[in-house]
Structure 1
Amino acid sequence: MKLPYDEIPEYPENYDSGNIMTRMIDGLGFRFYWATEGLTQKDLDYSPSKESRSVLETMQHIYGMSEMILNAPKAKPNVRPKDFTIYSYEELRQKTLENLKGASDLVAGKQAKDFEDFQVIFQQGDKQTPFPYWNLINGMLSDCIYHTGQITMMRRISGNPINPNISVFTGKVRK
Structure 2
Amino acid sequence: MLLLFTTMAQEPLPYASVPEAEENYSAGAIVSRTIDGLGFRYYWATEGLTQQDLVFSAADDTRNILQTLEHILELSKAVRNAVEQRPNVRPQVSANYTLEQLRIETLTNLKIASQAYKNASDKAFNNFDVVFKRGEKTIPFPFWNLVNGQLSDAIYHNGQIVLLRRIAGNPINPKVNVFLGKLNE
Name the TM-score class by shorter chain: over 0.9
Q: What is the aligned partner in structure 1 of residue 147 from structure 2?
A: 137
CA distance 1:87–1:136, shift in 2 (3 Å): same
Is 1:158 paired with 2:168? yes
Deviation at 1:90, TM superposition (A): 1.0
Give 1:78's match in structure 2, choosing from 79, 84, 88. Answer: 88
Q: Report the Cα distance in structure 2 between the residues aligned to 1:28 and 1:124, rounded to whole angstroms.
A: 28
Which residue number in structure 1 is paired with residue 5 of structure 2?
none
Q: Which amino acid aligns with 1:20?
A: I
Letter in 1 for 2:115: D
| Segment drifting more, 121-130 vs 136-145 | 121-130
Corresponding residue for 1:59? 69
Instruction: Work out the CA distance in 2 between the residues paired with 1:24 and 1:84.
Output: 27
Post-superposition CA distance 1:38-92 (Å, at most 9, x none): 1001110000111100000000000001000001012201111113342111111
SS of residue matched to 1:83: coil
| Contact 1:60/1:84 (8 A) holds in 2 | no
Aligned length: 175
Does the CA-based 8 Å contact 1:66-1:96 persist in structure 2? yes
Give runs of aligned pairs for residues 85-124 of structure 1, distance below 5 A.
Answer: 85-124=95-134
Per the TM alignment, residue 120 of structure 1 is displaced from its structure 2 partner at its CA by 0.6
Residue 41 (str. 1) matches residue 39 (str. 2): no
Q: Percent identity?
A: 52
SS of residue matched to 1:107: helix
Say what the alpha-carbon RMSD is for the aligned residues: 0.9
1:31, CA displacement in angstroms? 0.3
**In 1, distance between residues paired with 2:93 and 2:64?**
16
Q: Secondary structure at the match of 2:138?
A: strand
Amino acid at match of 1:91: Q
Q: Is the 8 A contact 1:18 1:107 kept in 2?
A: yes
What secondary structure is seen at the aligned counterpart in 2 of 1:122? strand
- Amino acid of the structure 2 residue aligned with 1:53: R
Supply the AA of the counterpart residue of 1:96. Answer: T
Corresponding letter in the other structure for 1:47: S
**1:124-165 deviation per Cα after TM superposition (whole angstroms, max 9, x unaligned):** 111111111110000000000000000000000001000000
Q: Which amino acid aligns with 2:90?
A: R
Structure 2's unaligned 5+ residue stretches are 1-10
Match of 2:15?
5
